[in-house]
């Protein structure tokens, strides 16, 4: 059975010292489980602190919230896949809605990042999702399919290495959450898109993100189409994150 992924996106929270303090609280109370993995996406300055603290625990991975596709050069403020690997990162968020809508990342740039991450033998987590106006216009699947174009053309084996995170933009940090059934419908459409391009249905892993918290995580994960959660605000506090990571799985 494929393990469920519990991914924490700390966004611009928790510097190196705060990261160590968080993990000092979380790790002693969280035992490895065969049915789940925990992934942390701290700010870039905290990747090494997190990776060092996690050590050799195989059930926990540390990654980056963003990456640049060039290996080096005059790109002030960016980090390459080589830098992320050197800091201990093994997974990378790509195309998060804040990168798209706050910083203007294009679909073409997202595609370049996916391929750079894969070329470095790391795992990309491709984020897709619609804004409220797009949802109200009935364009959810059109938007998601367009954003999935970042992995168009990958051969089946490579496609199966990509994790997809469906995050409806209107639900991120707003307290609003897609119903489990709504989320599962979009997940099913994503899985269908991926399998139509050669991926095995059982190999496609799709996370849900958008105001996930202790009170709704179990209900969301009860949906067969949802393979894990990508959590923002509720992942920054050790107590709420521990509760989410410990929810029963069917």
Q: Give the model confidence (pLDDT) of 107-129 as tens digits.
A: 999 999 999 999 999 999 999 99
Q: State the helix-helix crossing angle for 16-26 and 47-54, rounded to 10 degrees.
A: 30
User: Is it the case that residue 1 has pLDDT exceeding 90?
Assistant: no
* Mean pLDDT along residues 55-64: 97
Q: Which residues of 49-69 are buried (b: 16+ CB within 10 A; e: fewer)?
A: bbbebbeeeebbbbbbbbbbb
* Mean pLDDT along residues 55-61: 97
Q: How many CB atoms lie within 10 A of CB 193?
A: 19
CATH match for 4-245 among 1.10.443.10, 3.30.750.200, 3.20.20.70, 3.30.540.10: 3.20.20.70
* CB of 43 closer than 8 Å to CB of 93: no
Q: Which residues are catalytic?
A: 96, 167
pLDDT tens, 140-196? 999 999 999 999 999 999 999 999 999 999 887 777 778 999 999 999 999 999 999
Q: What is the pLDDT of residue 91?
A: 98
Give the global pTM: 0.97
Percent of the chain with pLDDT over 70: 100
* CB of 120 closer than 8 Å to CB of 80: no
Give the integer Cα–Cα distance in Å for 189 and 195. Answer: 10
Q: Which sign does the torsion angle of CA 131, 170, 78, 80 carry?
A: negative
């Amino acid at each position: 059975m494929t393990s469920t992924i519990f991914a924490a996106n700390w966004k611009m929270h928790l510097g190196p010292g705060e990261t160590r303090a968080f993990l000092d609280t979380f790790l002693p109370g969280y035992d490895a489980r065969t049915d789940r993995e925990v992934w942390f996406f701290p700010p870039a300055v905290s990747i090494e602190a997190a990776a060092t603290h996690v050590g050799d625990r195989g059930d926990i991975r540390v990654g980056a919230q963003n990456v640049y596709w060039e290996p080096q050069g005059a790109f002030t403020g960016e980090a390459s896949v080589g830098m992320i690997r050197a800091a201990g990162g093994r997974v990378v968020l790509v195309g998060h809605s804040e990168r798209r809508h706050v910083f203007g990342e294009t679909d073409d740039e997202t595609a370049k990042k996916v391929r750079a991450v894969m070329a470095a033998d790391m795992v990309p987590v491709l984020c897709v999702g619609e804004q409220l106006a797009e949802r109200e216009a009935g364009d959810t699947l059109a938007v998601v399919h367009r954003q999935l174009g970042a992995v168009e053309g990958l051969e089946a084996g490579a496609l199966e290495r990509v994790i997809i995170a469906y995050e409806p933009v209107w639900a991120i940090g707003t307290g609003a959450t897609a119903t489990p059934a709504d989320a599962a419908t979009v997940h099913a459409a994503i899985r269908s898109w991926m399998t139509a391009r050669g991926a095995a249905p059982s190999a496609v892993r799709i996370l849900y993100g958008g105001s996930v918290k202790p009170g709704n995580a179990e209900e969301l994960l009860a949906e067969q189409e949802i393979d894990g959660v990508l959590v923002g605000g509720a992942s920054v506090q050790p107590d709420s994150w521990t509760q989410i990571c410990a929810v029963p799985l069917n």
